[in-house]
């Protein structure tokens, strides 16, 4: 989990502190042992077709996405010891509980990910909503 990534959807910034877990160690650890996420935080896991909550103490929202950021499944408030799978997904975005509703996410919506260094460019260029 190196630098932060920004997540945009429906033409606005959704979260500006998203960590990326893109290797075996980081994907396996996930959010274990970390404080609960706040609304502007998240964890992008790739590749990922499923998440588990074994060993977790708090629930999370999970957004399953295709490679190009289209939402394929939403799992709100996944509880500790729970799990969720989406065979059509290539990556998963873990958000604070309530994040799906807070950001108005829906299946078919496209999210865009941008490294923090490029965030200034993206924030001035609104993205269209793509169902």
Write out pLDDT tens, residues 34-46. Answer: 899 999 999 999 9
**Which secondary structure element, helix H or strand E, spans residue 121, and what is its range?**
helix 119-123
Residue 131 predicted with pLDDT over 70: no
| Distance between CA atoms of residues 110 and 55, nearest Å | 31
Please report the pLDDT score of residue 2 as a whole number: 55
The pLDDT mean for the chain works out to 87
Return the pLDDT at 57.
92
- pTM across the whole model: 0.85
Side-chain-side CA neighbours of residue 100 (13 Å):
20
| Domain ranges (residues) in the chain | 5-116
Q: Is the dihedral of CA 58, 17, 87, 107 positive or negative?
A: positive
Q: Which of 29-33, 54-58, 113-117 has the highest mean pLDDT?
A: 54-58
What topology does CATH give the domain 5-116? Jelly Rolls (2.60.120)
């Amino acid at each position: 989990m190196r630098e932060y990534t920004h997540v945009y959807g429906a033409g606005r910034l959704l979260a500006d502190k998203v960590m990326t877990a893109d290797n075996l160690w980081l994907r396996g650890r996930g959010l274990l042992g970390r404080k609960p996420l706040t609304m502007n935080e998240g964890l992008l896991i790739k590749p990922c077709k499923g998440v588990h909550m074994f060993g977790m103490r708090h629930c999370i929202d999970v957004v399953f996405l295709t490679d190009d950021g289209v939402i394929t499944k939403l799992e709100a408030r996944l509880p500790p010891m729970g799990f969720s799978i989406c065979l059509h997904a290539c990556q998963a975005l873990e958000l604070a509980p309530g994040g799906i509703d807070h950001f108005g996410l829906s299946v078919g919506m496209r999210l865009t990910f941008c490294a923090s260094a490029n965030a200034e460019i993206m924030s001035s260029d609104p993205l269209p909503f793509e169902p």
